[in-house]
Amino acid sequence: MKQQTKISEAVVRRLPLYLQALNELSRGEVQTVSSQALGRKLDLNPAQIRKDLAYFGEFGRKGIGYDVSYLISKIRHILKLDRGINVALVGAGNLGQALCNYNRYSRDNMKIVAVFDDHPDKIGMHINTMRVQPMEELKATVEALQIRIGIITVPAAAAQKVADQLADAGIEGILNFAPAILKVPPSVRVHHADFTTELLSLAYYLEKDADHDDDKVVD
Amino acid sequence: MKQQTKISEAVVRRLPLYLQALNELSRGEVQTVSSQALGRKLDLNPAQIRKDLAYFGEFGRKGIGYDVSYLISKIRHILKLDRGINVALVGAGNLGQALCNYNRYSRDNMKIVAVFDDHPDKIGMHINTMRVQPMEELKATVEALQIRIGIITVPAAAAQKVADQLADAGIEGILNFAPAILKVPPSVRVHHADFTTELLSLAYYLEKDADHDDDKVVD
DNA sequence: TAGATTGTTAATCGATTAACAATC
DNA sequence: TAGATTGTTAATCGATTAACAATC
């Protein structure tokens, strides 16, 4: 067991990717996978995959590769997904509702168990089996349900206030969908999930001219 | 004008961030901003900001800083957002509908102008003013509306097929929300927007024990 | 003029990839 | 045994940060 060396964020962010690919292989009844095969699947360098995994232990067998189920269980453990993790979502708008319904995370032991909103129109509404609660109930609910992660899907202008409230309620991590940089105490980790960044940067790579027929102009 | 040197992805991905912060400053009637002030706002090193911008030209004034409106117009130009860019969305589920409604991009000259789905239940449905169209109409609509970017919000299992169809229709960029690695021709650029990665990696940084009272156990 | 801040070069830091002995 | 593949060290590559002359 190493764990001493501080693991870089880049490595940690690849772990869920590995998990994803491995889950797929597992569903396909694949027993064993090499770093090369996994790399092909994920468009990643095999040496990088081996190195990433080696930070956490010796999970493979020389000449053979990695046992799929075993590696899944190891990565789940590393990501602390071997216990269920409860999540609260703040902001019951379109995006928030979509995330609540979209429950792909539950397979990975993460579950949105409470939804909050400030707006009277939203409070009391039902999403799945959850009742949208007012922000005043945040702290008590976080404590009662042992919620550890918060998702922010409110407009940018409200995001900082919500982050403060989540931090105050004792949340340990925030996934922020609002296009805003949040200031939080060091005990709280923030991950950014604002896809407008990805969408706008995509535009950079478009061909120069809006008109496709750049190099074959006729008239 | 440089542009010769290939700009790294990391740089390009920061441009929308700059744009975001600058737009905010602009709304606050701020005329001028220094790399230091911008860095504080975005939690970025000022030298990095200056270097990033310098790849594209000399936009600042020594001793003064950057003119906010001027820099906005420059970055918008670099990102090719000075012309409108039409976007198609495929997958009219919860997430897809949310993205259609959430029209924050239109401010940045990007607009979802068509929605597609394969499922009979969805086809013909209305989201905003858009009618959900069957996939058979994809190619014709992409050409008619000069759509250049596609957003994928279908389940992972269907994502590759949709990517193939988008590529075939002549799309230049894809924003993929499905947890799947897409294989596309080199003419198409794919950006990944699967937030489950961000959510799961957040778990890694939680305190070891699910029980908060780690260091103050009583019973 | 003095203070501030850019654009840019050089120094540092970190991450990715190649290579290979160990071994299944 | 021969072939495959790991774990790990060394080499490479690239990105970030520091420093500073130029100049508003």
Q: Got the DSSP string for B91-138?
A: --SHHHHHHHH---GGGGTEEEEEEEES-TTTTT-EETTEEEEEGGGH
**Interface contact B12-A198, CB threshold 8 A:** no
Task: Please report which residue ranges of A28-130 form alpha helices under DSSP H.
Answer: 35-42, 46-54, 68-78, 94-101
List, chain by chain, residues whose CB lies under 7 Å from nucleic acid strand D. Answer: A 34-36, 46-47, 50-51, 53-54, 58-66; B 8-11, 44-45, 47-48, 50-51, 61-64
Interval B209-219 mean pLDDT: 41
Between B165 and A219, residue with greater pLDDT: B165
pLDDT score of B193? 94
pLDDT score of B4? 52
Q: Which residues contact B187 (CB under 8 A, 6 or more apart)?
A: B167, B172
Spell out which residues of chain A touch residue B192, defining contact as CB-CB under 8 Å. 198
Rg (CA), chain B: 21
Scanning every strand, the nucleotide with its C1' closest to A36's CA turns out to be: D5
- Among chain A residues, the shortest Cα distance to B108 is held by A200
Interval B165-188 mean pLDDT: 96
Spell out which residues of chain A touch residue B78, defining contact as CB-CB under 8 Å. 204
**Amino acid type, A164:** D
Could you tell me if A32 and A62 are in contact, meaning their C-beta atoms sit under 8 angstroms apart? no
Give B8-40 pLDDT, tens digit per residue: 999 999 999 999 999 999 999 999 999 999 999
Q: Look at residue B1 and tell me whether its pLDDT is greater than 80.
A: no
Scanning every strand, the nucleotide with its C1' closest to B61's CA turns out to be: C6
pLDDT score of B157? 93
Q: Which residues contact A40 (CB under 8 A, 6 or more apart)?
A: none
Is B25 annotated as ligand-binding?
A: no
Tokens coding B105: 């991009």
Is residue B195 helix, strand or coil? helix
Q: Look at residue A78 and tell me whether its pLDDT is greater than 90.
A: yes
Q: In angstroms, rounded to a whole number, what is the distance separating the alpha carbons of residues A191 and A154? A: 15
Q: Look at residue B212 and tell me whether its pLDDT is greater than 60.
A: no
Give B51-76 pLDDT, tens digit per residue: 999 999 999 999 999 999 999 999 99
Could you tell me if A195 and B193 are in contact, meaning their C-beta atoms sit under 8 angstroms apart? yes
Q: Binning pLDDT at 50, 70 and 90, where does residue A107 land?
A: confident
CATH 3.30.70.20 fits A9-78, yes or no: no
Give B107-159 pLDDT, tens digit per residue: 778 999 999 999 999 999 999 999 999 999 999 999 999 999 999 999 999 99
pLDDT score of B217? 32
Kindly state the greatest CA–CA separation across chain A: 70
Is B175 annotated as ligand-binding?
A: no
Could you tell me if A89 and A150 are in contact, meaning their C-beta atoms sit under 8 angstroms apart? yes
List, chain by chain, residues whose CB lies under 7 Å from nucleic acid strand C. Answer: A 8-11, 44-45, 47-48, 50-51, 61-64; B 33-36, 46-47, 50-51, 53-54, 58-66
State the best of B205, B211, B212, B214 to mutate against chain A, taking most chain A CBs within 10 Å.
B205
Nearest to B200 among A41, A101, A108 (CB): A108
Q: In angstroms, rounded to a whole number, what is the distance separating the alpha carbons of residues B124 and B130? A: 9
Selection from B52, B46, B60, B104 nearest residue B78 by Cα: B52
Give A131-147 pLDDT, tens digit per residue: 999 999 999 999 999 99
**Amino acid type, B76:** R
Q: In angstroms, rounded to a whole number, what is the distance separating the alpha carbons of residues A169 and A137? A: 10
Helix-then-strand count for chain A, H and E? 8, 10
Give the residue nearest to nucleotide D7 (CA to C1').
A54
* Residue A25 to chain B, least CA–CA distance (Å): 13
Gap from A47 CA to D11 C1', Å: 14
Could you tell me if A153 and A91 are in contact, meaning their C-beta atoms sit under 8 angstroms apart? yes
Tokens coding A139: 């702290």
pLDDT score of A208? 73
pLDDT score of B213? 42
The bases of strand D with some atom under 7 A from any protein CB are: 3-9, 14-19, 22-24
pLDDT score of A214? 39
Interval A81-86 mean pLDDT: 94
Selection from A140, A84, A82 nearest residue A112 by Cα: A84
CA dihedral B113, B119, B121, B127 (to 10 degrees): -10
Q: Across A76-170, where does the E strand assignment appear? A: 85-90, 110-116, 126-127, 130-133, 147-152
CATH 3.40.50.720 fits A85-201, yes or no: yes
In chain B, where the domains are located: 9-78, 85-201
Is residue A21 helix, strand or coil? helix
Nearest to A210 among B19, B83, B174 (CB): B83
The chain-wide mean pLDDT, for chain A, equals 91
Selection from B120, B186, B190, B179 nearest residue B149 by Cα: B190
* Residue B42 to chain A, least CA–CA distance (Å): 6
Is A92 annotated as ligand-binding?
A: yes
Q: In angstroms, rounded to a whole number, what is the distance separating the alpha carbons of residues A154 and A158? A: 6
Could you tell me if A171 and A139 are in contact, meaning their C-beta atoms sit under 8 angstroms apart? no
Is B92 annotated as ligand-binding?
A: yes
Q: Look at residue A31 and tell me whether its pLDDT is greater than 60.
A: yes
Is A93 annotated as ligand-binding?
A: yes
Q: In angstroms, rounded to a whole number, what is the distance separating the alpha carbons of residues B112 and A94? A: 16
Between A146 and B212, residue with greater pLDDT: A146
Q: Binning pLDDT at 50, 70 and 90, where does residue A2 land?
A: very low
